[in-house]
Structure 1
Amino acid sequence: MTEVGIGDSTLEVVTDFRYLGDMLSSGGGCELAAATHCKAAWKQFRELLPILTNKHLPTATRGHVYSSCVRSVLMYGSETWAVSANTKKKLQRNDKAMIRWICLVKPEQTIPFESLLAQINLKSHADIMQKSRLRWLGHVERSTGWIAQVRQLNVPVERTTGRPKLSWEDVVKRDRKTLGMDSVNPHHRQEWRGRLRLRLDSQAPPSTED
């Protein structure tokens, strides 16, 4: 099938398309979206290299620029992704490569990544993604509009052999268990946000100055 009719309109059937800056694939998953964001983040990173590698700027300042202008591109829309282990590693690998560049680490140097995050006063990519997913979960749980209706849709699919793909619901369930937030009700907005902030702030790297 190459076309589908909706009312008086005819739409082309494609395998993937861009919507609001994110990539959607007919096969599901977020692999294509992650690859697209990695490419876009590197483009932004190279444009900002004169600032991000400027030795006259404090490393914390360079880290703030990176977080605001590059990491935000890398992670755009990731709060809605059901991230697989391979996709997570790919995102972290790209994030780590850029941070090592910002910290002016040479390829042959083996410096613990946690110490580099502390230098630029940033949390790990995985922690940020986890926080974003749970913030979005709170919004979704409290919603009474179309988001809540979509979650209740029963889409018939053929059961394939092998382990089923990880769903977004599975990911956020794991996030809640990891952070000990199983007992917190997302409908209580202030409590949900407060507990989430408390849990993740305790994981923040210490601030350092040049």
Structure 2
Amino acid sequence: MPICSDFRYLGSLVQGNGEVDWDIKHRINGGWMKWRPVKGTTCDPRMLLKLKGKIYKYVIRPVILYGSECWAVKKMDEKRLHVAEMRMLRWMCGVTRMDKVRNECIRGSLKVAPVTEKLEGNRLPWYGYVKRRDKTYVTKRE
């Protein structure tokens, strides 16, 4: 039987060692690709912060979290997602790290929940779906 190093499962690339580093990097890059077309709107200081937050929640974050139901993320992966998200949110608000504005303040002004909480929220329904499968399903057989 051949040993495969990488495989795709539900659109996610799972590496031979069980990690999803490549897929997370790919999703973050996809988020930045969606960021570019809406950058004119989200970085405009005349736009309401609440509207900028909605654009982020409905356009950019779904791209980043697509296929995250089956990810086995490590703390480093969560941190990578958090850093990318905060860079986008700070850019939307026109705030730099030198301004020393806390992340919670930025999230509160845009009304955006942390991406790690959304990541957990995406995994829970998937887990319930897997638990409710038939006993004759391939993954449930012993």
| TM-score of the alignment, normalized to the shorter chain, above 0.5 | yes
The match for 1:109 among 82, 86, 99 is 99
Of Structure 1 and Structure 2, the greater helix share is in 2
Is 1:92 aligned to residue 75 of structure 2? no
2:132 maps to what in 1? Answer: 142
Answer yes or no: is the 8 Å Cα contact 2:135–2:141 preserved in 1: no
Distance 1:19 1:43, change over 3 A: farther
Instruction: Please tell me the residue identity of whatever aligns with 1:122.
Output: V
Stretches of structure 2 that go unaligned for 5 or more consecutive residues are none
Structure 2 counterpart SS, 1:143: coil
Q: How does 1:147-162 map to 2 (within 5 A)?
A: 149-150=138-139, 152=140
1:144-182 deviations in Å (ceiling 9; x for gaps): 388x532x366xxxxxxxxxxxxxxxxxxxxxxxxxxxx
1:117-148 deviations in Å (ceiling 9; x for gaps): 111111111111111111221222223388x5
* Greater C-alpha radius of gyration: 1
| TM-score using structure 1 length | 0.60
Structure 2 counterpart SS, 1:88: helix
Give the Å deviation of 1:99: 0.8
Structure 2 counterpart SS, 1:48: helix
Distance 1:69 1:122 in 2: 13
Distance 2:40 2:7 in 1: 33
| TM-score using structure 2 length | 0.85
Q: How does 1:11-90 map to 2 (within 5 A)?
A: 15-16=5-6, 21-90=11-80
Larger RCO, structure (CA 8 Å, separation 6 or more) = 2
